[in-house]
Amino acid sequence: MNKKYLRIGVVIIIAICATVFTHFDSFLYKDPIIKVESVKTLERNKSTDEYKNTDTQVKQRLTGKFLNTDKRGQPISVDNTYYQSQLVDQKFRVGQQVMLTKTGRHYSVNDVKRDTVLVFTIGIVLVLLFCMQFSRGKLLTSVLLNLAVYYGFMRILINTHNSILLLMTVITALLISGIALIVILGPTTDALMAYSSTVISTTIAILLSVLLLSISNNSGVHMELTDFGLQPYFSVFISQVIFSVLGVILDETMDISSSLIEMKKEISNVSEKTLFQSGINIGRELVGPLINILLFIVIAEHLNVVLLYLSNGNSINYTFEMTLSLGFAQLLISGIGIVLTVPITSFIASKIITRRAV
């Protein structure tokens, strides 16, 4: 018990030290950073559009001192203009550390320095993990390895200008799921069982959905409405679907597999048919919550755009088609994968578990 509290105390101290360090790490940045000491509002301009939507443009003057570069300690004043809605800009406050952009002899506001908040948040997560006695090492290892894989994925896309986006997405998805299972479950039959179930379920769901989209000629699904109009539209859409459906299927597969493994440990002579039926029953309980979670994610992700369309006088049907059609298409594809995962995982798990010694 004392060792537990000692570990938690060490993690708390490390988190605090890391947070304090990032608050004073301006010297590590190449971009000029200032600490805002005073803010003065210079002017306000209120505007109203034809749909009675109002917004106010505010011009403020930030006064502070440089925290880095050869101007460290010198005072500076810089103007910032933002709308109260803060859709694409933001309001700055006293005490914030703000990054500047230098153009010639003039400075302009770029963004807030957020590393302190990020490190503090990560510290809280780590402290909670240690308090709840989760598998911290395995979790952190899998996350770090997958971040490295994702970084490599992004670098390759940049170098190839998205020409092999779909291929790299498939490879990255296979690597990410494999790494997560191997690190968490180890190089065991259980990991292979969950991995095969995940890959088969995801592949069938994606292929079936692509077939249905082709038969319907993508009716009602405007792939050109992907964020920022990224091209190629189809590859971007399918890549988004692969990553979204893979995560939820991986979670579902592990839940069903681990439950059947524990069942086999408790009842050593359980039959293959009983295991399969138990997997189906477990899956039935998982399908509803998982699909609802994805539905909430779609609604939350697009709520701001939906409100923007509706507040500008667009009809509900047009708003849905322009903002939610892609999200609900992804939801339906994920739903297909979630449902298919139940019999596929139950079948594979029941076959493997009954044929090995416990």
* Structural domain contains residue 186: yes
Strand-pairing partners, residue 77, are 63
**Rounded CA separation 149/203 (Å):** 21
* CA Rg value for the chain: 26
* Structural domain contains residue 108: no
Q: Is the pLDDT of residue 243 over 60?
A: yes
Which secondary-structure segment (H or E) carries 108? strand 106-112
Q: How confident is the model over 9-18, as a mean pLDDT?
A: 90
**Rounded CA separation 155/149 (Å):** 10
* Structural domain contains residue 106: no
Sheet with 106-112: strands ordered across? 75-83, 54-66, 33-48, 97-103, 106-112
Same domain, 326 and 341: yes
Same domain, 234 and 315: yes
Of the ranges 87-101, 212-226, 331-345, which one carries the lowest mean pLDDT score? 212-226
Answer yes or no: are the C-beta atoms of 14 and 84 closer than 8 Å: no
Distances (CA, A) of 122 to 10, 117, 129, 141, 143: 15, 9, 11, 15, 13
Q: How confident is the model over 267-271, as a mean pLDDT?
A: 82
Same domain, 237 and 344: yes
Same domain, 255 and 273: yes
Q: What is the pLDDT of residues 99-145, one digit of tens each?
A: 998 888 888 898 899 999 999 998 888 888 777 765 555 667 777 88
Same domain, 208 and 337: yes
Q: Any residues with CB less than 8 A from the CB of 337 and at least 6 apart, and which?
A: 201, 202, 204, 205, 206, 245, 248, 249
Q: How confident is the model over 4-28, as a mean pLDDT?
A: 89
Q: Any residues with CB less than 8 A from the CB of 323 and at least 6 apart, and which?
A: 225, 302, 305, 306, 309
Same domain, 40 and 164: no
- Return the structure tokens found at 156: 């390759």
Same domain, 125 and 242: no
Same domain, 258 and 219: yes
* Structural domain contains residue 142: yes
Q: Which domain holds residue 123?
A: 1-29+113-133
* Structural domain contains residue 55: yes
Domain count, the chain: 3
Q: What is the pLDDT of residues 168-190, one digit of tens each?
A: 888 998 998 888 888 877 788 88
Same domain, 139 and 56: no
Model confidence band, residue 232 (pLDDT cutoffs 50, 70, 90): low
